Amino acid sequence: MNRIPIRTIPCRVARREALCEDVMGLWLRLPKAERLRFLAGQYIDVLLPDGSSRSFSLANAPGDAQFLELHIRHYQHGVFSDLVFSGMHEGTLLRIRGPLGGFVLDEASRRPIICIAGGTGFAPIKGLIEHVLARGMDRPLHLYRGARSQGDLYLDELARGWAEQRAQLRYTPVLSDPMPDEPWSGRTGLVHEAVLEDFEALGDHVVYASGPPLMVEAIRATLPQKGLDPGYLYSDSFGRASTAQPSY
């Protein structure tokens, strides 16, 4: 991985947009003379006035770095997420530190790609996929997306658009607990089980998995049974916000 200097940069909130009931999209504008160099899939720390920080994956590709896109889940009594959902406004000044993390695309590989995203683990996966598309890479790519119900499957139309416009890309959303009144005719169950059902062998693939720890643990335990080389399984697992790992 190319080493990019870690920097602390001021930025301002450019836009907020509710992506679903408990996920907010936040776009940060950097100073005119500044750009944050980063690799698709990396994350930043948002530095808080009390000296703590919250870590969020970058949901945009590096080529679109004038704005930094974050997907922030609302946690009950979460200091920063409460602010994002209620008190934050356009122009709010923040300080960020980054880029951080090693969950990045191996561009030298020619292996077909499987991306598995759970919940707001979609953020770094989105950045990876948009980078692949922007660079014109022709590697086959299959995106699996796990969510509880259809309402949690935010930016679903964006992912469907990728698949419609690019022959190399397939998209499979999987709901674990669809609401009884939802008009859902797609896949149900656990997202890693859908991958196991669809592939007889994974020996020539590379997998990028981002989501809750239980999802990532299940992927690590089961996909090698289909021949996936553990060295080609890149993962980004997260839980409640902390200063040690990305949270979404």
- For every one of its 248 residues, what pLDDT tens digit does the chain have, with 9 covering 90 and above? 457 899 999 999 999 999 999 999 999 999 988 889 999 999 999 999 889 999 999 999 998 667 999 999 998 878 899 889 987 899 999 999 999 999 999 988 999 999 999 999 999 999 999 999 999 999 999 999 999 999 999 999 999 999 999 999 999 999 999 888 878 889 999 999 999 999 999 999 999 999 999 999 999 999 999 999 999 999 987 653 333 333 33
Report the SS3 class of residue 103. Answer: coil
1 within domain boundaries: no
248, 119 contact by CB (below 8 A): yes
243 within domain boundaries: no
Write down the pLDDT at residue 71: 97
Residues 203 and 168 in one domain: yes
pTM over 0.85: yes
Q: Which of 114, 124, 130 is nearest to 198 (CA)?
A: 114
Range of the domain at 128: 113-237
Q: What is the CATH number of the domain that holds 24?
A: 2.40.30.10
Residues 140 and 190 in one domain: yes
Number of folded domains in the chain? 2
Q: Which of 188, 122, 187, 195 is nearest to 156 (CA)?
A: 122
Domain boundary among 100, 127, 147: 100
Residues 96 and 136 in one domain: no
What are the distances in angstroms from CA 147 to CA 9, 200, 208?
A: 34, 24, 17
Residues 144 and 218 in one domain: yes
